[in-house]
């Protein structure tokens, strides 16, 4: 179920690990009649967030789904968001301080050289990582996550014939790291709170990476 839902809503992949834990808890209850209480508490709020994403996609409100428990669900989600914002502000302040201390007293030419070396040291995983500007030092960091082929665009010639097609691929980001100032963020909510766009349109996409072959050996546009 988790796999199929994340195919439709790629943002759900961020919660895949925690939802698999939930599945294990459910299996323990069904087959053993027991479960880890502390572990169950750990997955409670992420489970609510997961459900909220699905409900929003279906245009269903929390109250319509949770009924008398909607206040509990809403409060947990809100409290979690506030905790994330506090953590993000702390992380931003630390990265800003570390950045200043790291390059304090250095000549601008030297600083530029170090930053260029750090930016060029990134080795990106294709379609799962992309460079994006750090909100603290304004240099390049790396946003990571899962990709989605949003749609296919086609090129049509003057005679109306199809000349080619290319996919529009989006990266749904759930983490960010900057080697220049040391900023690290570990969720899409944290990225949003820090002012980083959690959804990026990827460039330099190779259409051949998204072709599939049918039973007759002919290529078609897949994924």
- Say if pTM beats, i.e. exceeds, 0.85: no
Q: Which two tokens stand for residue 64?
A: 């319509």
Domain boundary residue, one of 18, 33, 60: 60
As for how many domains the chain has, the answer is 2
77 within a domain of the structure (yes/no): no
Domain boundary residue, one of 42, 60, 78: 60
49 within a domain of the structure (yes/no): yes
47 within a domain of the structure (yes/no): yes
The domain in which residue 55 lies consists of: 2-60
Average pLDDT along the chain:
86
Residues 196 and 132 in one domain: yes
Euclidean distance between CA atoms 109 and 31, whole angstroms = 65
Q: Which two tokens stand for residue 63?
A: 């109250």
Domain boundary residue, one of 14, 29, 60: 60
111 within a domain of the structure (yes/no): no
Residues 51 and 146 in one domain: no
In the predicted structure, residue 181 carries a pLDDT above the cut 60: yes
Euclidean distance between CA atoms 86 and 213, whole angstroms = 49
3-class secondary structure per residue, 101-148:
HHHCCCCHHHHHHHHHHHHHCCCCCCCCEEEEECCCCCCEEEEEEEEE
Residues 56 and 128 in one domain: no
How do residues 91-125 score in pLDDT, each as one tens digit? Answer: 999 999 999 999 998 999 999 999 999 999 999 99
193 within a domain of the structure (yes/no): yes
CB atoms within 10 A of CB 126: 12
């Amino acid at each position: 179920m988790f796999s199929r839902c994340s195919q439709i809503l790629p943002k759900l992949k961020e919660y895949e690990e925690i939802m698999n834990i939930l599945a294990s808890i459910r299996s323990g209850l069904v087959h053993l009649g027991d479960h880890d209480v502390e572990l169950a508490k750990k997955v409670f709020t992420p489970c609510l967030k997961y459900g909220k994403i699905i409900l929003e996609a279906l245009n269903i409100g929390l109250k319509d789904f949770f009924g008398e428990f909607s206040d509990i669900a809403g409060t947990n989600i809100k409290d979690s968001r506030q905790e994330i914002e506090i953590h993000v502000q702390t992380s931003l302040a630390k990265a800003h301080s570390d950045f200043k201390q790291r390059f304090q007293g250095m000549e601008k030419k030297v600083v530029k050289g170090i930053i260029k070396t750090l930016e060029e040291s990134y080795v990106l995983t294709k379609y799962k990582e992309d460079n994006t500007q750090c909100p603290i030092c304004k240099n390049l960091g790396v946003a990571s996550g899962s990709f989605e082929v949003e749609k296919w665009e086609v090129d049509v010639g003057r005679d109306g014939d199809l000349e080619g097609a290319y996919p529009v691929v989006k990266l749904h980001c759930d983490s960010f790291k900057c080697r220049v100032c040391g900023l690290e963020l570990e969720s899409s909510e944290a990225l949003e709170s820090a002012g980083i766009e959690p959804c990026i349109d990827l460039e330099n996409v190779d259409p051949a990476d998204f072709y599939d072959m049918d039973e007759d050996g002919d290529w078609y546009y897949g994924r």
